[in-house]
Structure 1
Amino acid sequence: MTDELAAPTPAEREPVEPELVESESGRSESGKPQSGKSRMRADAKRNTEQIRRAAIDAFRGRGLAVPLEDVAKAAGVSKATVFNRFGGRIGLIEAVIEELVAAELYAIVDHARTIANAGERVAYYLAAIRELQYRQPAVNDVLLQMYPESQQLMAICHVAGEFNAELIAAGHASGELRAEFRTDDLEALVHDSALALKYGTRPPVADYDRRTTFLLDGIRRPRE
């Protein structure tokens, strides 16, 4: 996708230099007082972490399409500094996506695998993913593959897709799920929720949770 911001002009760019490892005492590893250049490099390291933390906060609350000017302002740096440190939006996404999205999504997958009963596993997973989608807008951007140029983002989608197939196979083998309910149906439900939350009117949480129950009732095999 095309970023809404143009790359900074040469005049806007700030020099990017290799960073030095520094001690808290203000001296280099050799014990000599730091030069002005090494202090500048320390500032660059701090700027990089400030941008990373600002991006996590902004993406977590508003999704991955937050204007980069907003991230720069929150970090106390210029837009040119964001481009210099991360190369633009995709580089910034890749710098934070593991902490921002992957950690929580993978934790859901790992916990689901500990649930022995296939029906309970499906119920937990679908409810947990929908709750994460409601709470964390960046998750919807990942699941909708809004930035396919990001290899890390696409890797997260691949992990989710593999687990969806594993989950549906177990649900069929146990007889908990409707025989006609397939992996692509589960993915469509998750994607539909992502689209509704991203572009539609956000429902009250009580209504959203009630609809999760309806979804679960719809995919389970009817009891005889």
Structure 2
Amino acid sequence: MPEPKSLRRDARDNVAKLRAAAMDIFLAKGLDASLYEIARAAGVSIGTLYHRFGTREGLIDAVIPDIAGSRLQDLAATVMAQDTARQRLEAFVKGMIDLQSEDPALNDAILRRYPDAVALHDICERSTTLGQQLVHDAHADGSLSPDFTDDDLFCLLWLAGIANREPHAPSGWQRVIEQALRAAWTTPT
């Protein structure tokens, strides 16, 4: 939610402090981090946070899409630099799981935990479209079993996202996802 330029200087400063605090805390703890903690870290009241951003989703849309978009664009560039459809799909899965593991806020975005954060949803939709295209390309070249669908891909990524959020997830969850993907190929590596 862009702020009008006519805000008083102290109000602009509060918005900047809230954005910085939200960025730090969301990236460290995920998108369900305490809004009270964000306001406290910014040195403002919770009322100021709500007055300036309206809702949690408004705050998410104000701070996360740029960072998420940048990270997902970097992943897309890495993926598309691969030589074969199989290598591209494998790089996409590995890259998405790495992002989910390293970045709680991006993991929450990929899991669509806040569907009313419209700007964030639009950015994640681009990665969904890329994943669908990668599955289609691997089907087209015959390297991926026709039984493996883009829904299967997103189920694997969703399972990885949930496991990344869960501190008591079984330690072998990544191996299970790797085995599921490995079984989807029509030819061994």
Q: What's the TM-score, normalizing by structure 1?
A: 0.75
Structure 1 residue 99, shift from structure 2 partner: 2.5
Q: 1:106 aligns with which of 73, 80, 84?
A: 73
Task: Give 1:37-56 correspondences, 5 Å limit.
Answer: 41-56=8-23
Alignment CA distance shift 1:148-1:18 (3 Å): closer
Partner of 2:164: 197
Task: Give 1:136-151 correspondences, 5 Å limit.
Answer: 136-151=103-118
SS state of the match for residue 69, structure 2? Answer: helix
Give the whole-Å Cα distance in 2 for the aligned partners of 1:77 and 1:220.
Answer: 54
Any conservation in 2 of the 1:56–1:100 contact (CA below 8 Å)? no
Does residue 1:186 correspond to 2:163, yes or no? no
Task: Give 1:79-158 correspondences, 5 Å limit.
Answer: 79-158=46-125
Residue type of the partner of 2:179?
A: F
Give the whole-Å Cα distance in 1 for the aligned partners of 2:173 and 2:17.
Answer: 35
Give the whole-Å Cα distance in 2 for the aligned partners of 1:18 and 1:43.
Answer: 13
Task: Give 1:21-32 correspondences, 5 Å limit.
Answer: none
Task: Give 1:61-76 correspondences, 5 Å limit.
Answer: 61-76=28-43
Structure 1 residue 209, shift from structure 2 partner: 5.7
Give the whole-Å Cα distance in 2 for the aligned partners of 1:53 and 1:89.
Answer: 15
Partner of 1:220: 185
Unaligned runs of 5+ in 1: 1-16, 21-37
Q: 1:163 aligns with which of 130, 141, 148?
A: 130
Structure 1 residue 200, shift from structure 2 partner: 4.9
Unaligned runs of 5+ in 2: none
Give the whole-Å Cα distance in 1 for the aligned partners of 2:149 and 2:85.
Answer: 15
Does residue 1:77 correspond to 2:44, yes or no? yes
Give the whole-Å Cα distance in 1 for the aligned partners of 2:11 and 2:43.
Answer: 12
Structure 1 residue 116, shift from structure 2 partner: 2.7
- Cα-to-partner distance string for 1:148-185 (whole Å, 9 max, x where unaligned): 11211221232122111100011112222122111000
SS state of the match for residue 38, structure 2? Answer: helix
Flag the structure with higher helix content.
2
Q: 2:142 aligns with which of 175, 181, 187?
A: 175
Q: CA RMSD in A?
A: 2.4
- Cα-to-partner distance string for 1:170-216 (whole Å, 9 max, x where unaligned): 11122221221110000110111112222452567xx6665554344
Any conservation in 2 of the 1:179–1:221 contact (CA below 8 Å)? no
Give the whole-Å Cα distance in 2 for the aligned partners of 1:223 and 1:198.
Answer: 32
Structure 1 residue 90, shift from structure 2 partner: 1.2
Alignment CA distance shift 1:19-1:222 (3 Å): closer
Residue type of the partner of 1:219?
A: A
- Cα-to-partner distance string for 1:75-123 (whole Å, 9 max, x where unaligned): 1111111111111211101101223322111221232122231111111
